[in-house]
Structure 1
Amino acid sequence: MATTKVVIVDDAAFVREVLSHLLKRNGFEVVGEACDGEEAVEIVLDRNPDLVIMDIVMPKLSGIEATKRILEKNPNQKIIACSTENSEGMVGKAIEAGCVDFISKPFEGKGVIEILTSIAKR
């Protein structure tokens, strides 16, 4: 199976770094990172990754709005929401926007890898 290509979107550099190291150690290829929703739309549409890990609460453009814009252009893009705000309402908004799953922060590395591996196989 080909390497799964991922874009990581989070306004916290530390979170992007932790996710990047975790994914690379587990055979994923990180093809881009973004620190806000506007940058996310640009990078995801340019690099066409297999998966996107999308923070929800970010400056300039929320992860919800970025997800909607990406899916307008590429309806098959697989986007996984990731947020500390894991209320039922927020998870519902993410899924309604088109996210295929939701990862709560703080996250456990093994759980993240299991979710991404499962989604990549769909």
Structure 2
Amino acid sequence: MKRLLVVDDAMFMRRLIGGVARDAGWEVVGEAADGAEAVSLYLELRPDLVTMDLVMPIMGGLDALRSIRELDPEAKVVVITAVDQKQSVLDAIRLGAIDFVVKPFDRDRVTGLLRKFAGSAP
């Protein structure tokens, strides 16, 4: 079973993404409410995939993505962002994000992403 770390400052979004992931056959191994916690949990858990909100307190998603990719250049991170954050998505892709999902997201889009990456995670 593939392992997922869900990062979002909104508990509702963490639960929503986690539920979609479990329905798609993933194990949610951790949840983080900010980027600093995400980096720490990534080091501890080494998940197969991270879903990362971009706008969060303490440390934003771009900084967390940068830190995770510096620690593990093979880390797979999908960013979750609002419709009006096009530049942030481009920055995230430049920093190594493998894909993105726009909020409010379509459940089928997230399920498709998880299924796609279930086959590519080691």
The TM-score normalised by the length of structure 2 is 0.93
Structure 2 counterpart of 1:40, one-letter code: A
User: Percent of aligned pairs with the same residue?
Assistant: 38
Match of 1:30 in 2: 28
C-alpha displacement of 1:90: 1.8
Deviation at 1:85, TM superposition (A): 4.3
Q: Structure 1 residue 25: deviation in Å?
A: 1.7
- Once the 2 structures are TM-superposed, how far is the Cα of residue 87 of structure 1 from its aligned partner? 3.8
Conserved in 2, the CA contact under 8 Å of 1:86 and 1:104?
no
2:13 aligns to what SS in structure 1?
A: helix
CA contact (8 A) 2:9 2:56 kept: yes
Tell me how far 1:7 sits from its aligned partner: 0.2
Unmatched segments (≥5 aa) in structure 1: none
Match of 1:103 among 94, 101, 104: 101
2: CA distance between counterparts of 1:98 and 1:61?
17
Root-mean-square deviation over aligned CA pairs: 1.1
In the alignment, the residues of structure 1 paired with residue 24 and residue 113 of structure 2 have an alpha-carbon distance, to the nearest angstrom, of 13
* Corresponding residue pairs, total: 120
Spell out the pairing of 1:31-70 with structure 2 (5 A cutoff): 31-70=29-68
Could you list the runs of 5+ residues in structure 2 that have no partner in the other structure?
A: none
